[in-house]
Amino acid sequence: MGDARIELAVIGGTGLYQLAALQDVETHQPLTRYGAPSGPIRVGTLGGRRVAFLARHGEGHSLPPHLINYRANLAALQALGAQRVLALNTVGGITERFGPRVLACPDQLIDYTWGRISTLCEVDSEGRGGGDVLHVDFGEPYTRSLRQAVIEAAREAGVAMVDSGCYGATQGPRLETRAEIARMRRDGCDLVGMTGMPEAGLARELGLDYACLAIVANWAAGAGPDPDEVITLQDVLDHVAAATGELPKLLATLLAK
Ligand code: HPA
């Protein structure tokens, strides 16, 4: 494991269960000290660079956000030799700049999740985890250099991207009420998703570089022009498919940097 350098690990979210552009793919499913990852890790080449891909919810989307073993996912990618993680997160848009199909690279987050294992030092019900109590710095939750590389790659590739924003991580798996979204807007959130935490915090604890590429799939509850809009999974998937058409180009440009 970890023989040839993996330049980038990509974690795919809702609607993103594979990287079709990956070539010469090998499959790994390492067991980590935190347990098994969500599914197989596909390692291949993209633009001549080695890339690992993992579907966060499993390739058949069988894991809800609060039951994902985020620690095992990140530890497995790290065990394979990844040092940099680009998290793809399907989100709802709250503020004006973040309508459906927008791509964004947020620079802040607020964690509203609860009851998830959110640190390496917690021992879970199967006795996994533990060790030193960690208090990592998290003032800037995403790695600045990786964010800048993503933003520059988007600019170079001609892919439109909002280069900031605050991601609010909710518990799910249900979507939010309009009052919850109104509160998140008051708190300063631009985007809402269910998987941004504890992933980002655990990446920091593991010493991994980590950035989020958020794909806006819908207006969050009550945030769009039609306040009575009902959000359907089909709309979410359609918008993700439309918004990620240029993802391979963006990743190839990022990897060439
Ligand atoms: N809320 C939370 N998570 C999401 C949403 C949303 O509106 N859309 C896609 N993921």
Q: Are 150 and 214 in contact (CB under 8 A)?
A: no
Q: Which CATH class is domain 8-256?
A: alpha beta
The pLDDT tens digits of the residues spanning 136-156 come to 999 999 999 999 999 999 999
What is the rounded average pLDDT for all residues in the chain?
A: 95
Read off the tokens for 234: 């089909």
User: Rounded to two decimals, what is the model's pTM?
Assistant: 0.96
Domain boundaries, the chain: 8-256
For residue 91, the 8-state DSSP code is E
The pLDDT tens digits of the residues spanning 40-73 come to 999 999 988 999 999 999 998 899 999 999 999 9
What's phi and psi for 84, nearest 5 deg?
-125, 130
Name residues contacting ligand 1 (CB within 6 A).
90-92, 170, 175-176, 192-194, 217-218, 220, 231, 236
pLDDT class of 211 with cuts at 50, 70, 90: very high
Q: Whose CA is nearest to atom 6 of ligand 1?
A: 92
How far is C-alpha 6 from the geometric centre of its chain's CA atoms? 18
Among 94, 98, 112, 218, name the best residue to mutate to test ligand 1's pocket (greatest count of ligand atoms within 8 A of Cβ).
218
Q: In this predicted structure, what is the pLDDT of residue 227?
A: 81
What is the spatial distance between Cα 155 and Cα 246, in angstroms, rounded to a whole number?
Answer: 12
Q: In this predicted structure, what is the pLDDT of residue 2?
A: 45
Q: Which own/partner pairs from 64-67 qualify as long-range (CB within 8 Å, at least 24 positions apart)?
A: 64/172, 64/173, 65/171, 65/172, 65/173, 65/194, 65/195, 66/113, 66/115, 66/116, 66/171, 66/172, 66/173, 66/194
The pLDDT tens digits of the residues spanning 1-39 come to 445 789 999 999 988 998 988 999 999 999 999 999 999
- Would you call 67 exposed, middle or buried from its count of C-beta atoms within 10 A (0-12, 13-18, 19+)? exposed
